[in-house]
């Protein structure tokens, strides 16, 4: 098995290469290491190798794993990349430094109340269902302006847009679409690109790439 340090170095090389081709600064792209399903023992070596931003897709799993890791490493940031139920909004506000999956009005309300109660502002990406897939999370493109207006009215700090394009077809058109939607709506952040396509996403404007298996190996 390859060491965490060499996997991270390989991903970092690929990120730097994509940035240089796209004439972008490396600092414009945040690498979110998606550690879902992997235990703290698998995360520690990546921290030791210098990685600082991590992502989880379940509130429960993050609540079990991360308080201890954060205690040992106070400078880490943790992002929620998976779907969020409204009844877990308070817990998510307490645990995470960014939320990538705001996708419906009920969640705007729950997160606004949670941030208000906690006195803590957590930047949110609005997830867009760019492939119009029934089973997938994310707001429909047509409903995006209204959802953004609600989030702004509720004073949710908006970081940008996020997408998970359809599987098994070329992702580039969907990344280009998310980039355009972000631009049209005056948002700076684009959370897009995973292990299989992060270079493409960087060339099309990603500011946050969410990379799991390329850093941790395949999940069970």
Ligand X SMILES: *Cc1c(COP(=O)(O)O)cnc(C)c1O
The CA-atom distances, in angstroms, between 187 and each of 32, 66, 145, 179, 182 are 19, 29, 12, 9, 5
Residue of the chain from 46, 164, 178, 192 that contacts ligand X (CB under 6 A): 164
Taking a C-beta distance cutoff of 8 angstroms, is the pair 187, 10 a contact? no
Q: Which is nearer to ligand X, 47 or 214 (CB)?
A: 214
- Residue 211 found at the interface with ligand X (CB under 6 A): yes
Q: How far is the CB of 142 from ligand X (least distance, A)?
A: 22
Q: Specify the pairing of strand 53-56 against strand 30-34.
A: parallel
Angle between helices 4-21 and 40-48 (to 10 degrees): 60
The yes or no reply on residue 213 touching ligand X (CB under 6 A) is yes
Q: Which stretch binds ligand X (CB under 6 A): 61-69, 70-78, 144-152, 204-212?
A: 204-212
Alpha-carbon distance of 71 to 90, in angstroms, equals: 20
Rule CB under 6 A: say whether 207 interacts with ligand X. Answer: no
- Residue 195 found at the interface with ligand X (CB under 6 A): yes
The DSSP call for residue 141 is G
Assess 212 for contact with ligand X (CB under 6 A). yes
Tell the residue number behind the tokens 């949710």, with chain if given: 156
Cα separation, 34 vs 54, in Å, equals 6
Residue count of the chain: 220
The secondary structure of residue 128, as a DSSP letter, is B
Please give the residues from 82 up to 121 whose contact with ligand X meets the rule CB under 6 A: 82
Span near ligand X by CB under 6 A; candidates 43-51, 90-98, 116-124, 208-216:
208-216
Taking the CB of residue 186, how many other CB atoms lie within 10 A of it?
8
> At its nearest, how many Å lie between ligand X and the CB of residue 75?
23
b/e 130-139 (16+ beta carbons within 10 angstroms → b) = bbeeeebbbb
- Residue 130 binding ligand X, by CB under 6 A: no
- Residue 210 makes contact with ligand X by CB under 6 A: yes
Nearer CB in complex with ligand X: 24/36: 36
Is residue 194 within the footprint of ligand X (CB under 6 A)? yes
> Is position 65 an interface residue for ligand X (rule: CB under 6 A)?
no
Please tell me the count of residues contacting ligand X according to CB under 6 A. 14
Binding residue (CB under 6 A) for ligand X from 36, 70, 113, 136:
36
- The residues that touch ligand X, with contacts defined as CB under 6 A, are 34, 36, 57, 81-82, 164, 194-196, 210-214
């Amino acid at each position: 098995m390859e060491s965490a340090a060499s996997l991270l170095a390989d991903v970092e090389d690929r990120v730097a290469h994509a940035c240089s081709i796209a004439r972008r600064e490396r600092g414009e792209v945040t690498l979110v290491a998606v550690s879902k399903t992997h235990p703290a023992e698998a995360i520690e070596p990546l921290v030791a190798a210098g990685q600082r931003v991590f992502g989880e897709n379940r509130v429960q799993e993050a609540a079990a794993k991360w308080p201890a890791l954060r205690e040992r490493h106070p400078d880490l940031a943790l992002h929620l990349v998976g779907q969020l139920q409204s009844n877990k909004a308070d817990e998510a506000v307490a645990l995470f430094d960014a939320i990538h999956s705001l996708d419906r009005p009920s969640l705007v309300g729950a997160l606004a109340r949670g941030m208000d109660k906690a006195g803590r502002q957590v930047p949110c990406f609005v997830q867009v269902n760019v492939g119009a897939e029934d089973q997938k999370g994310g707001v429909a493109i047509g409903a995006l302006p209204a959802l953004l207006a609600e989030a702004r009215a509720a004073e949710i700090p908006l970081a940008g847009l996020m997408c998970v394009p359809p599987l098994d077809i070329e992702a580039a058109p969907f990344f280009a679409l998310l980039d355009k939607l972000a631009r049209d709506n005056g948002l700076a952040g684009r959370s897009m690109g995973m292990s299989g396509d992060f270079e493409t996403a960087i060339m099309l404007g990603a500011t946050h790439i969410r990379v799991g298996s390329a850093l941790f190996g395949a999940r069970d």
